[in-house]
Chains A and B, each alone.
Chain A
Amino acid sequence: CTKNFDAINTDPNTATTISPQYLLSTALIKTAYAYQDDAFMGKPAEAGRYITKVRNEGDDLFGWSAENWDSYYGTLSVNKQLYDLAAESGMKQYMAVSQIIRVFNFAYITDLYGDCPYSEALLSKDSGIVHPKYDQQEVIYTDLLKTLTAANDSLANTSLAINTTYDVLYGGNNLKWRKFANALHLRLLLRISSHDATAFTAMQTMLNDPAKYPLFESNSDNAAVKYLGVTSSDSWDGGNLVSEVTEVNKYKPSKEIVDTLLSLNDPRLAVWIAPVASETGYTVDGNTYVGVPNAIPSPYDYNGGEAHISELSAIFYQNANDLLKASLMTYAEQCFILAEAVQRGAVTVSDETAASLYYKGITASLEQNGVKAGTYMEQPAVVYKGTLSQLITQKWIALFLKGAEGWFDHRRTGYPAFVPGPLSAIRNIPSRYIYPTTEQSYNLSQYKSAVARQGADQTTTLMWYLK
């Protein structure tokens, strides 16, 4: 009776195995595009005070409700398949880049939420674990750092090539992958530096051996995936293939970023921000560029209405543009990380000072945005003063709509000093995301023990390295 049943129930639409390169492209694009989505249209852009939404401004009021993490774990699931397939056939180069992608995503998750499923995560298929425990952030970070070191070593010791076409981040350049692993390593070390005494030592070890731990050397090393602008799935979020103009129009530059750029005569202002439609008839701000304050009533009515509020510049409404990339990490950021560490006196970098690194960071950012420095860096407000406030403010500008670092740095350092608006639900900028509601449905007991350990599941609760 069951003759041919195997053949009938063999799925003709799919393959049982596949070359790892096809999953590498998927994992990279998912990672980069999701990270950039958040950085432009997600909560990090609002918490980092780049953006004020003038309609549906719920997120701006900082009364954040639970935030889903499925897209990150979904990417990690693809990435794990990539690793497993590569491991089956001993393709070390794919195993290593998969580890770097893994660290990037897990680091982002724990930076957003704090404790999260890590060691028992992604094991539904292998071990039937459907209720993974939440690991402590401290433990996660330790393992992430270890993984980055191993990936860097592994890539240094293999001659196996990554497919140039399918490596949409670095075109199969092993060295650039190592640079990215190490730059990311620095980002994570700085993040935990106040809670982990060994962080700066580890940083110094890396800095002492540039051959073993190559770092970003210019913008050409930036970890960023381009947009093609062909279909909605490969286009910039603000372009008309993805979003309606009405939707993008809700995203106004914040008063903080506009006023900071104005006060510094920053040449990047005109690249990023559009002048107001009408300079007559305003109510409170007569500038050519007007940002919207956080959490005020009727923000669309601010300054006499939308004709008197700046929009983002036209490039942000495009489907693709050379200036628009899904940015994971930039050379400029690395410069500012090192500048901060050196400024603190925690590490030394050969041939560099905190000031030189600070200027290199600014220069890299200006260059990346296609503007000339001119006399920008000679202005008193820009000339290196050695204050954390100045340094972080410049880093914040350089990372405009790139990643969540603007928010994370504010959380860590208190700079730049953001002031939540009158309607803000909390007194400060949020410290974390609230765990997804689905966790209470599908992973309740693990969720409960995580909350019991870390503190109430609220945006104001401090995670390990912020305590």
Chain B
Amino acid sequence: DGHTFNRPPVNQEMVSLAEALQRMQHSFHVNFNYSSATLANKYVSLEQVPVSGPFSEEKVSKMLLPLGLVMVKITAADYAIRPVRSTVVFNKVISGLISNEKGEPVPGAVVTDKASGKTVVADAEGHYSIEVADAESILVFRSMGYVAKEIKAGTSGLLNIQLLTNIKDLSAVVVTALGVKREEKALGYSIATLDGSKVNTVKEVNVVNALSGKVAGVDIRSASSDPGGSVLITIRGSSSITNSNQPLFVVDGVPVISANRAPSQPIGQVTVDYGSPVSDINPDDIATITVLKGASAAALYGSRAGNGVVLITTKTGTKKKKELNVSVNFTAMFDKAWQFPQFQNEYGAGDATGSIDPTNTLSTASWGPRLDQGTKHLQWNSPVDANGDQIPTDWVSYPNRIKDFYRTGQTYTSNVAVSGNNYRLSYTNLQNKGITPNTDLERNTLNLATGYELNPKIKVTSNIAYTNNHSNNRPTFNRGSSSSIVYTMPANINTKELKNYWIKGQEGLQQFSQDQGNTDNPYFVANELTNGYTRNHLTGNVQVSMELLKDLTLMARTGLDFYTETDESKRAFSAIKNPYGGYAVSNLFSSEQNTDFLLTYKKTLPKEWSFFVSAGANRMDQRANTSSQTAGTLVMPGVYNISNAAAGTIANASYKSKKRINSVYGMGELAYKGYAYLDLTARNDWSSTLPANNNSYFYPSASLSLIVSDMFNIQSKLLSFAKLRLNWSRVGKDTDPYSLYNNFYFNSPDWGDVKLANFSSLLKNNNLKPEIATSYEIGTDLKFFSGRLGVQATYYTTNSRNQIIQTPTTMTSGYSAKIINAGEIRNRGWELGINGTPIAKQFIWEIGANFTRNRNKVIKLTDDITNYLQGSTEGVQYQIREGQKIGDMYGKTWATVPDGPFKGKELLDNTGHSQYATDLIKIGNYNADFMVGITNTFTYRHFTLNTLIDWRQGGKFFSYVYMNLLSDGRTVNTLKGRDLQHGGLSWNDGTTDRTDGMIEDGYIADGNGGYVKNTNITDPETFYGDYYWKMHSRNTFSATYVKLREVSLTYLFSKQQLGHWPVSNLSLSLIARNLFSWTAAGQGYDPETAMSISNGSITPGTTSWSLPYTRSYGIKLGLNF
């Protein structure tokens, strides 16, 4: 009703507001905070000003409100007077995400509205929401181990907060070996922890992939671009010559079955990568991943931990009663085949451009006539005339022939998790369709975590994860794979015409192919040569912890990990390698059971000393059974049952193995004043795989952690925290079962009704000793500017001795190899981690970077052997030479002029062709010189942008694909010399005049001890064959790359935006993987997946036929009920 607050009304005794407040301060002993500008020209009637009785906030507020002011309580007797901002729509509910300086959510953080005292607790993902009085309300965020933070509520309704670790109170707890929780500051070795959120935003089908670029010292390489494929992980370099160098995976304290399995060639030619059982671990269920690097941190996991340990802790229920939390998320990812070799589209099929043979153009090579010139030639799909002769047809190119074959890969992941008082149940469904037609993967995971307190002193917890994996068909690799076929098709073939792959009237019997009778139709391979599998995988444990006495606790646990898998491969009739079809079925069973206990005594002594000691024991039992039946010839087409095998063709195989390791161990910590910690561990293993007199081995470790900043009481704004770590440790290693004696077995199938006995050409050894790896580590953790910048640096060296290796021996000795103890391999390296928060206001910018550099050296092999052939693929030898490095690749190179003015130039043979140098030369090492991972997170109001850059510098890869495509004229770099237009020379090959002459650059012996420049003319096919095909060194490239591996843009909806919807924490993310990739090699080959996937092994450093590199886009939706 027309009040004007700025003018004192008449008839009433008015006082200025400032005076009124002063009166109240005096009467009630309260304190008002205001700025004089706020109170200027404001009056109240004296009646309204309370001066007696109890202080009533309500009365004062009533008095203030008409003046457009509010009163906010700060503390018990402190109030602030502020204007009401009537122009701003004020949100009563503030919600947001609380994270730490590493960008990880801080679960359970306490949020308090300073004015009202209202308090809420953030959920497990760091989400909170709180009602506040107004935008000026001050919210206080507190969490154990973090510096409390006060911030104005603001008006947007969304407030994301970053808390900094309290360096004075470094009680952050990490999970270490045997599931023991320790304060991070007490650890004398480097440990890396990743929060689950770091691996499930841009979700990978195989969670190991999600570690890429995120942890210093860890080298992750996907075997292919297929999301369900194998991933190789190496921590601090390869230490073993013969073993896989893969770390041990431990889920909730229980080791799981070997992380990787070898690819296989079930039947016929193609190689199948079934992925690794470790990929069954569902990213949505992961609370944290801890990487224990090197032997040091792993001393307590025994034998298998020599290559490091990846500890995965799964999510559990909350401790709060009567709370039910339902979280749902959905991710859709789309993979697009992206990088291809640079195929040429100018020349079609043919053996030689100048060939006189009209059927020349039916060749699979690409040296044929020029395309798109209006000419006609005989070709693969030429119709037949009345006489049965093929008719030449239009000679045109199909530049999209490769891309046309691949489809958009799709991966949909849906997760629902219900958690409440001491339980969490989660279900995940994953549906994947690969970029190769007819390939897929389906995964269902059920995860249950429960806990129960029998009484305050006895707690029981249990985790069970069940995963079912199913695929109708996995992508295939290497020779015979659809990729190898599509890549090698000449440019005049239209892939789309191959889609109907049966010959009319002979469906199920005879395929129709671009190279009839010689090469499979790629669609036939995709649809009729399938390799499916079903794996049921169960991982579970039950753990009891008891407080026996004051300071004395007992933990007992048993865990089981097992899977059964059925692989089934089908080959239709008319397959090139299985003309009468084929069928293979195999069953795998693998289990590992671990039972252990740990007794711990903890005590704080007078004079600021404290200690704990633990002692425990473990029994591990591993079992594996496999059986398979393979038939390379069927009787009835299309019937895939082993009984349909042609008589006598079934090859049977079965294998069983068992292994047991018994261990006792102890560890202790002595701490002084909370700044000096000495850790000692000791373990003794007894392994069933070693000879009775050598099967017991002991290994200790010692580590020291000094909080230097506390010791010397450094209190500087610049350096807020400094810690020094020192560590020395040893790990013993055993070997595979049955490595002691050679025995006899039968080959399968039999030779008719005759059995063929055989024995391994590997000579076993009943005098084996355990391997020993010794490592030293020194490191520091520093924090600057009150924790805004953190630096971690570690230098380590690990020597592996007495390795149990299969040293190759000359076959003339009767055996191709012999198991011996030999060798010494050293790995040395640096790991650096930096994380900082340059800006932490409304706009938050967090940056994290890690740097890894490992140097490997083969110190010694054995007295007899200075050169060990680790393996060989596509003609490249992986030799381990004394004084050199693991990962060195040796290949063929060209001969050079030995003397004279042309010394060092290429020496050709008398006819002007390349010739080999006698010795193989080192063409490179597949390991990187260093690796860098950089993450950036930008948060502004609702938006969070996350990027991960992965940079790998150095290393080499040999591309068999490059060599193959080039030697058959399939890529653009083979155009030179094809005809006059492309610089070809006119010449006569003895029968025909041609215009595709080329001269190899080099010198020829003149017969008189001198050398002359080569002038012999040859054709392009020979030229490129000589120049590239013959020489591995010319097909070897730098493996350096920089990838924008992950990008995600997340929009977090505020409570207010969601209104009265019964949902919270709704977020929507746009995600992308491999958005950008730069490779030093160019050429369309991905150095990361430069691997050869062949029967029994995945060999890094050499490419064989694989899938094109992909770029992925997707969307993620997450919410809670």
B-binding residues in A (CB < 8 A): 1-2, 4-6, 8-9, 11-18, 22-23, 25-26, 29, 63, 65, 69-70, 73-74, 76-78, 80-81, 116-117, 121-125, 129-132, 165-166, 168, 228, 230-234, 240-241, 244-246, 281, 283-284, 296-298, 300-301, 304-307, 422-423, 425, 437-439, 441-443
Chain B residues with CB under 8 Å of A14's CB are 738, 743-745, 759
Cα–Cα distance between A352 and B754 once the two chains are bound (Å): 40
Given known pairs A5-B695, A14-B743, the reply for A125 and B576 (CB within 8 Å) is no
Chain A residues with CB under 8 Å of B660's CB are 4-5, 8
The answer, among A4, A25, A437, for a CB contact under 8 Å with B756, is A25
Contacting pair A2 B359 (CB below 8 A): no
Per-residue 0/1 for B517-539: is the Cβ within 8 Å of any A Cβ (1 yes, 0 no)?
A: 11100000000000000000000
User: Is B498's beta carbon under 8 Å from chain A?
Assistant: no
Given known pairs A283-B991, A441-B867, the reply for A9 and B738 (CB within 8 Å) is yes
User: Is B261's beta carbon under 8 Å from chain A?
Assistant: no
Contacting pair B751 A168 (CB below 8 A): yes
Would you give the shortest CB distance from B660 to chain A, in whole angstroms? 5
Which residues of B801-828 are within 8 A (CB) of A? 808-816, 818
Would you give the shortest CB distance from A169 to chain B, in whole angstroms? 12
Contacting pair B810 A438 (CB below 8 A): yes
Cα–Cα distance between A361 and B310 once the two chains are bound (Å): 73
Chain B residues with CB under 8 Å of A300's CB are 351, 357
Given known pairs A125-B742, A230-B649, A234-B751, the reply for A130 and B864 (CB within 8 Å) is yes
Chain A residues with CB under 8 Å of B357's CB are 300-301, 304-307
Cα–Cα distance between A5 and B690 once the two chains are bound (Å): 9
Cα–Cα distance between A86 and B758 once the two chains are bound (Å): 15
Chain B residues with CB under 8 Å of A234's CB are 751-752
Given known pairs A125-B742, A301-B360, the reply for A29 and B756 (CB within 8 Å) is yes
Contacting pair B656 A12 (CB below 8 A): yes
Would you give the shortest CB distance from A227 to chain B, in whole angstroms? 10
Which residues of B729-778 are within 8 A (CB) of A? 737-738, 740-747, 749, 751-759, 761, 763
Cα–Cα distance between A121 and B815 once the two chains are bound (Å): 10
Chain A residues with CB under 8 Å of B916's CB are 65
CB-based nearest B residue for A12: B656
Cα–Cα distance between A129 and B763 once the two chains are bound (Å): 12
Contacting pair B818 A11 (CB below 8 A): no
User: Is B658's beta carbon under 8 Å from chain A?
Assistant: yes
Cα–Cα distance between A323 and B577 once the two chains are bound (Å): 24
Chain B residues with CB under 8 Å of A78's CB are 758-759
Would you give the shortest CB distance from B733 to chain A, in whole angstroms? 16
Cα–Cα distance between A41 and B757 once the two chains are bound (Å): 26
The answer, among B518, B744, B755, B815, for a CB contact under 8 Å with A15, is B744
The answer, among B358, B752, B815, B1018, for a CB contact under 8 Å with A125, is B815
User: Is B632's beta carbon under 8 Å from chain A?
Assistant: yes
Contacting pair A26 B809 (CB below 8 A): no
Contacting pair A244 B518 (CB below 8 A): yes
Interface of B is mostly: loop
Cα–Cα distance between A22 and B755 once the two chains are bound (Å): 6
Given known pairs A22-B757, A29-B756, the reply for A230 and B911 (CB within 8 Å) is no
Given known pairs A240-B579, A296-B990, the reply for A13 and B648 (CB within 8 Å) is no
User: Is B1103's beta carbon under 8 Å from chain A?
Assistant: no
Chain B residues with CB under 8 Å of A231's CB are 632-633, 648-649, 651, 749
A-B pairs, 7 with minimum CB distance: A305-B357, A14-B743, A22-B757, A122-B814, A124-B813, A117-B812, A246-B518
Chain B residues with CB under 8 Å of A246's CB are 515, 517-519
Contacting pair A22 B751 (CB below 8 A): no
Contacting pair B814 A123 (CB below 8 A): yes
Query: Among the interface residues A22, A65, A298, which one has the most CB atoms of the partner chain B within 10 A?
Result: A298
The answer, among B654, B743, B865, for a CB contact under 8 Å with A442, is B865
The answer, among A5, A13, A124, A230, for a CB contact under 8 Å with B814, is A124
Chain B residues with CB under 8 Å of A15's CB are 743-745
Contacting pair A22 B355 (CB below 8 A): no
Sampled A-B contacts (23; CB under 8 Å): A2-B662, A2-B686, A9-B738, A11-B737, A13-B654, A15-B744, A16-B741, A22-B756, A25-B754, A25-B757, A26-B758, A29-B756, A69-B812, A117-B812, A121-B812, A125-B763, A129-B813, A168-B754, A233-B749, A301-B357, A305-B356, A423-B911, A423-B913
Contacting pair B814 A29 (CB below 8 A): no
Given known pairs A23-B757, A438-B810, the reply for A13 and B655 (CB within 8 Å) is yes
Chain B residues with CB under 8 Å of A23's CB are 744, 757
Contacting pair A442 B742 (CB below 8 A): no
User: Is B160's beta carbon under 8 Å from chain A?
Assistant: no
Contacting pair B813 A244 (CB below 8 A): no
Would you give the shortest CB distance from A109 to chain B, in whole angstroms? 9
Given known pairs A65-B916, A283-B991, A301-B352, the reply for A122 and B740 (CB within 8 Å) is no
Would you give the shortest CB distance from A448 to chain B, in whole angstroms? 13
Given known pairs A9-B688, A13-B655, the reply for A307 and B991 (CB within 8 Å) is no
Cα–Cα distance between A303 and B579 once the two chains are bound (Å): 32
Contacting pair A80 B814 (CB below 8 A): yes
The answer, among B517, B632, B743, for a CB contact under 8 Å with A11, is B743
Contacting pair B761 A74 (CB below 8 A): yes
Chain A residues with CB under 8 Å of B1022's CB are 297
User: Is B238's beta carbon under 8 Å from chain A?
Assistant: no
Chain B residues with CB under 8 Å of A422's CB are 911, 990
Cα–Cα distance between A6 and B763 once the two chains are bound (Å): 20
Would you give the shortest CB distance from A281 to chain B, in whole angstroms? 8
Chain A residues with CB under 8 Å of B1058's CB are none
Chain B residues with CB under 8 Å of A123's CB are 813-814
Would you give the shortest CB distance from A81 to chain B, in whole angstroms? 7
